[in-house]
Amino acid sequence: MLSIFEQLQERVNHHLQVIYAEIELPDSFEELTQQLLVTMNIDHSDKVQVPLRHHNNWDQQDVMLITYGDSIEQTDQKPLQTLHHFLQEYCLDIINSVHILPFFPYSSDDGFSVIDYSSVNEALGNWDDISALCSDFRLMSDVVINHCSARSAWFNNFIKGEGPGSDFFFTASPLEDTSEVVRPRTSDLLRLTETANGEKYVWCTFSHDQVDFDFRNPKVLLAFASIIKQYLDVGIRVFRLDAVAFLWKKQGTSCINLEETHEAIRLFRTLIEHTVADAVIITETNIPNRQNLTYFGNANEAHGIYNFSLPPLLVNTLVTGSCRHLKAWLGSMPPAQNGTFFFNFIASHDGLGLRPAEGLLNDGELSALVNTMQNFGGRISWRKAENGGQKAYEINIALYDALQGTVKGQDKWGLERFICAHAIMFGLEGIPGLYIHSLLGTNNDYEKVRNTSHNRSINRHKWDYKKLKEALDSPYSQHSKVLKRMSHLLAVRKKQAAFHPNATQFTLQLGDQVFGFWRQSLDRRQSIFCIYNISDQEQVIRLSDINLIGTDSWVDLLSEQTICHEDIELLLTPYRAVWISNINQPH
């Protein structure tokens, strides 16, 4: 019988054989396996941790705040320290995990064009600040794995033709047919670069400052194994693989979602969780829903996947007053196996992605959503369509402003609609990711858009901590109201076993103006009926429609209102949310 270490060797070797099946390597698979295990410091049995298959290293208390390292700034203090103080003062009881968007030196794209993966951006702080955050929160770090900055030392060595990185980048001939390549930008795919070895055309999926790696070279794989090991040593336990769907390129294909990419993720999972058993991988794949689901593999690939279809469907639901599409999508979603989870979010540093809504909303509905968001100050980012034209790729807007009205225009229900959106997300199967500007009710930042000329800047406001504290300490400010309401939702949520990320979920059929689903705890003791009026009109539901068991006592966890069996109907004011449970957890 093989030892634990021998089993690990065999598994890594298999991953490599699949990834490099069509590549002639300078070293044998056995040698490359050993190099990877040495890099991860798991080259002996007593160093190898054994992850439990189909084990959930998370529960209903897990909520992740998404933020830039400098979303909150204070004079004479590094932003990472200011962020830590904010989290300790306002979030300790409601947030246990934090995703700090790329905190490395960078040249563009607000951090996603990394110059040096091994350093913390000096303008933000240092590794001690990251370690301090890791001591209080479970920290998620980006691994910007598809590309790096054209100003990196690696790319400079590529230009010089010598040194580390000189053979790290993917090149192609402009004569090759790249018409099948799928990418989210309209810029030229290939960047002409003068090098010591002549003219090279470097592949750039995103921008010409973001040059794509060539994972056909195993040195690139080893470099990222070393980077991940450094992050693990600092205390980081969750890894967001950014833009990973584009990792492997192959002539004559779409260069997205290729099998080599999936196998590379399986390899990284094997390496990471045998180094630290409860470490987690989340894949960031902003693609149509069915393709996105494939990144779970057979519970052997990503632990978590971004639920990219949720944001456009949920916003569309609340601005149209109809949950028909959201209900159909939710009813069709497979449950995540134990050992995997959906990462739910409705706002992020990017925007409202529209590709994940393709096939779920028709062109007319997408156009109506785009027009409505533009009426609320949103900007539109475009991509090349299959016919050579342009198609809306994402809507850039602060979520608070996005929900200030409906397709009919702005109204008085903005705050209630905004809270309803989060009450829906917090109840769904999966782990919620809450963008800091949603927690704070931040508005569109038009000035930043003017200063940067980038649409995404509209939802990347930087708060002065003193002004933020003044706003949060004023009970009448929208920011204070939002934080208070969000904190209440999260305080209730984290106490409910039925909100475990892998607890049972069943979609309810309550008409188009009332959205609902049922959750049941893993031990089947607790049931919660999550019901939401997603319209601007009062709605009435019959309690018989949700089949409350007569022998149990029922209570709305959010209002603490007892639900009597003698009551025939429940009145829902516009955008009211109720979580009706047979167990009232004190909070």
Q: Please tell me the pTM assigned to this model.
A: 0.96
CA atoms within 13 A on the CB side of 577: 26
Average pLDDT over residues 17-43: 95
How buried is residue 229: exposed, middle or buried, by Cβ count under 10 Å (0-12/13-18/19+)?
A: middle
How buried is residue 480: exposed, middle or buried, by Cβ count under 10 Å (0-12/13-18/19+)?
A: middle
- Among 129, 142, 242, 556, the one annotated catalytic: 242
Q: How confident is the model at residue 1 (pLDDT cuts 50, 70, 90)?
A: confident
Cα first-last separation, the chain: 51
pLDDT value for 544? 81
> What are the φ and ψ backbone dihedral angles of 189, each rounded to 5 degrees?
-70, -40
Q: Distance (Å, rounded) from C-alpha 295 to C-alpha 312?
A: 20
Mean predicted lDDT score pLDDT of the chain:
95
pLDDT value for 585? 57
Question: Is 147 annotated among the ligand-binding residues?
Answer: yes
If you count them, how many residues does the chain have?
A: 587
Structure tokens at 82: 């200011």
pLDDT value for 365? 96
Q: Would you say residue 33 has pLDDT above 50?
A: yes
Q: Would you say residue 114 has pLDDT above 90?
A: yes
Contact 251, 176 (CB under 8 A): yes
Question: Is 587 annotated among the ligand-binding residues?
Answer: no
Question: Is 576 annotated among the ligand-binding residues?
Answer: no
Question: Is 188 annotated among the ligand-binding residues?
Answer: no
Contact 269, 303 (CB under 8 A): yes
Q: How confident is the model at residue 545 (pLDDT cuts 50, 70, 90)?
A: confident
Strand partners, 344: 432
For 216-262, write each residue's pLDDT tens digit: 999 999 999 999 999 999 999 999 999 999 999 999 999 999 999 99
Residue bearing tokens 């607000």: 110
Structure tokens at 488: 């209440």
| Residue 242: active-site member | yes
Percent pLDDT > 70 in the chain is 98
**Residue 329, H or E segment:** helix 324-332
pLDDT value for 361? 95
Q: Which amino acid, 532?
A: Y
pLDDT value for 186? 82
For 127-144, write each residue's pLDDT tens digit: 999 999 999 999 999 999
For 421-440, write each residue's pLDDT tens digit: 999 999 999 999 999 999 99
Q: Would you say residue 586 has pLDDT above 60?
A: no
pLDDT value for 578? 97
Question: Is 15 annotated among the ligand-binding residues?
Answer: no
Q: Distance (Å, rounded) from C-alpha 121 to C-alpha 565?
A: 59
Structure tokens at 300: 């052997």
CA atoms within 13 A on the CB side of 394: 24
Query: Coil, strand or helix: which one is 383?
Result: strand
pLDDT value for 551? 64
> What are the φ and ψ backbone dihedral angles of 522, each rounded to 5 degrees?
-60, -30
The torsion of the CA quartet 121, 124, 128, 133, rounded to 10 degrees, works out to -120
Q: Distance (Å, rounded) from C-alpha 270 to C-alpha 263?
A: 10
pLDDT value for 171? 98
Question: Is 552 annotated among the ligand-binding residues?
Answer: no
Q: Would you say residue 580 has pLDDT above 90?
A: yes
Window from 61-70, 170-179, 284-293, 496-505 with minimum mean pLDDT:
284-293
Non-local (6+) Cβ contacts of 335 within 8 A are: 429, 502, 504, 505
pLDDT value for 550? 66
Q: Would you say residue 165 has pLDDT above 90?
A: yes
pLDDT value for 513? 98
pLDDT value for 328? 96
**Residue 274, H or E segment:** helix 259-275
Query: Coil, strand or helix: which one is 233?
Result: helix
- Using alpha carbons, select from 48, 547, 523, 584 the residue that is nearest to residue 272: 48
Average pLDDT over residues 370-395: 86
The torsion of the CA quartet 207, 208, 210, 215, rounded to 10 degrees, works out to 110
Question: Is 556 annotated among the ligand-binding residues?
Answer: no
Q: Distance (Å, rounded) from C-alpha 74 to C-alpha 58?
A: 33
Q: Would you say residue 587 has pLDDT above 50?
A: no
Q: Distance (Å, rounded) from C-alpha 426 to C-alpha 486?
A: 10
For 91-100, write each residue's pLDDT tens digit: 999 999 999 9
Q: Would you say residue 331 has pLDDT above 70?
A: yes
For 370-379, write each residue's pLDDT tens digit: 999 999 999 9
Residue bearing tokens 């295990």: 37
pLDDT value for 566? 67
Q: How confident is the model at residue 569 (pLDDT cuts 50, 70, 90)?
A: confident
Query: Coil, strand or helix: which one is 362?
Result: coil
Largest interatomic CA distance in the chain: 83
Question: Is 278 annotated among the ligand-binding residues?
Answer: no
Number of neighbours of residue 223 by Cβ within 10 angstroms: 18
Delineate the domains of the chain, giving CATH numbers in brackets: 504-581 (2.60.40.1180)
